[in-house]
Amino acid sequence: MTQSIAIIGAGISGLTSAYYLKKNFPEYDVTIYEASVHTGGKIHTVRRNGFTIELGPESYLGRKHIMTDIAKELGMEDEIVTNETGQAYIYANNELYKIPGGSILGIPTDWKPFYQSKLISRKGKMRAGRELFIRPLAMDKDMSVGTFFRKRLGDEVLENLVEPLMGGIYGANIDELSLMSTFPNFKEQEERYGSLIKGMRQVKKEREKNKEEGAPKGQFNQFKNGLGSFIDKLVEYLRKEGVNFMFGTKVEKLNHTEEGVDLTLNNSDVQSFEGTIITTPHQAFIDWFKDDPKMDYFKTMPSTSVATVVLAFDEKDIENTYDGTGFVIARSSNTNITACTWTSKKWPHTTPEGKVLVRAYVGKPGETIIEDSSKAELVELVLEDLSKMMNIKGRPVLELVTKMPNSMPQYLVGHRDEIKAIKHHVKETYPNIEMTGASFEAVGLPDCISQASQAVQSLMMTLKTK
Q: Locate the domains of the chain by residue range.
A: 4-43+228-301+412-464, 102-210, 303-408
Alpha-carbon gap, residue 48 to 375, rounded angstroms: 18
Judged against a pLDDT cut of 70, whether residue 456 lies above it is answered with: yes
| Per-residue model confidence (pLDDT) at position 177 | 95
Hey, what CATH class is 4-43+228-301+412-464 in? alpha beta
**Mean pLDDT value across residues 242-251:** 97
Alpha-carbon gap, residue 151 to 153, rounded angstroms: 6
Contact (Cβ atoms closer than 8 angstroms) between residue 43 and residue 227: yes
| Per-residue model confidence (pLDDT) at position 228 | 98
Instruction: Name the residue with higher pLDDT: 134 or 210.
Output: 134
| Per-residue model confidence (pLDDT) at position 209 | 79
Count of alpha carbons within 13 angstroms of residue 106, beta-carbon side: 32
pLDDT tens-place string over residues 32-57: 999 999 999 999 999 999 999 999 99
Judged against a pLDDT cut of 90, whether residue 322 lies above it is answered with: no
| Per-residue model confidence (pLDDT) at position 323 | 84
For 73, residues 6+ apart whose C-beta sits below 8 A from its C-beta are none
Task: For the chain, give the secondary structure using H, E and C.
Answer: CCCEEEEECCEHHHHHHHHHHHHHCCCCEEEEEECCCCCECCCCEEEECCEEEECCCCCEECCCCHHHHHHHHCCCHHHEEECCCCEEEEEECCEEEECCCCCECCECCCHHHHHHCCCCCHHHHHHHHHHHHCCCCCCCCCCEHHHHHHHHHCHHHHHHHHHHHHHHHHCCCCCCEEHHHHCHHHHHHHHHHCCHHHHHHHHHHHHHHHCCCCCCCCCEEEECCCHHHHHHHHHHHHHHCCCEEEECCCEEEEEECCCCEEEEECCCCEEEECEEEECCCHHHHHHHHCCCHHHCHHHHCCEEEEEEEEEEEEHHHEECCCCEEEEEECCCCCCCEEEEECHHHHCHHHCCCCEEEEEEEECCCCCCHHHHCCHHHHHHHHHHHHCCCCEECCCCCEEEEEEEEEEEECCECCHHHHHHHHHHHHHHHCCCEEECCCCCCCCCHHHHHHHHHHHHHHHHHHHHCC
Alpha-carbon gap, residue 35 to 228, rounded angstroms: 19
**Mean pLDDT value across residues 391-411:** 95
For 138, residues 6+ apart whose C-beta sits below 8 A from its C-beta are none
| Per-residue model confidence (pLDDT) at position 1 | 61
**Mean pLDDT value across residues 122-147:** 95
Q: What strands, in cross-sheet order, belong to the sheet with 270-273?
A: 251-256, 261-265, 270-273
| Per-residue model confidence (pLDDT) at position 211 | 72
How many other C-beta atoms lie within 10 A of the C-beta of residue 361? 22
85 confidence band (pLDDT: 50, 70, 90): confident
**Mean pLDDT value across residues 255-261:** 93
| Per-residue model confidence (pLDDT) at position 152 | 97
| Per-residue model confidence (pLDDT) at position 212 | 67
| Per-residue model confidence (pLDDT) at position 465 | 85
**Mean pLDDT value across residues 371-397:** 96
Count of alpha carbons within 13 angstroms of residue 208, beta-carbon side: 7
Judged against a pLDDT cut of 70, whether residue 339 lies above it is answered with: yes
214 confidence band (pLDDT: 50, 70, 90): low
CATH number of 102-210: 1.10.3110.10
Contacts 24+ apart (CB under 8 A), 316-319: 316/393, 316/394, 317/392, 317/393, 317/394, 317/395, 318/356, 318/358, 318/390, 318/391, 318/392, 318/393, 318/394, 319/390, 319/391, 319/392, 319/393
| Per-residue model confidence (pLDDT) at position 2 | 73
Q: Which of 399, 327, 401, 329 is nearest to 370 (CA)?
A: 401
**Mean pLDDT value across residues 188-198:** 96
Q: Which of 17, 57, 145, 79 is nearest to 415 (CA)?
A: 145
Mean per-residue pLDDT over the chain, rounded: 94
Count of alpha carbons within 13 angstroms of residue 357, beta-carbon side: 23
| Per-residue model confidence (pLDDT) at position 219 | 87
| Per-residue model confidence (pLDDT) at position 170 | 87
**Mean pLDDT value across residues 254-261:** 94
**Mean pLDDT value across residues 376-390:** 96
Please give the share of the chain, as a percent, with pLDDT higher than 70: 98
**Mean pLDDT value across residues 55-67:** 94
121 confidence band (pLDDT: 50, 70, 90): very high
Instruction: Give me the architecture of the 303-408 domain, per CATH.
Output: Alpha-Beta Complex (3.90)
Judged against a pLDDT cut of 80, whether residue 466 lies above it is answered with: no
| Per-residue model confidence (pLDDT) at position 140 | 84
| Per-residue model confidence (pLDDT) at position 86 | 85
* Angle between the N-to-C axes of helices 196-210 and 184-193, in degrees from 0 to 180, rounded to the nearest 10: 100
| Per-residue model confidence (pLDDT) at position 215 | 62
> Which backbone phi and psi does 44 adopt, to 5 degrees?
-155, 110
| Per-residue model confidence (pLDDT) at position 65 | 94
Alpha-carbon gap, residue 390 to 319, rounded angstroms: 6
Please give the share of the chain, as a percent, with pLDDT higher than 90: 88
Instruction: Name the residue with higher pLDDT: 375 or 441.
Output: 375
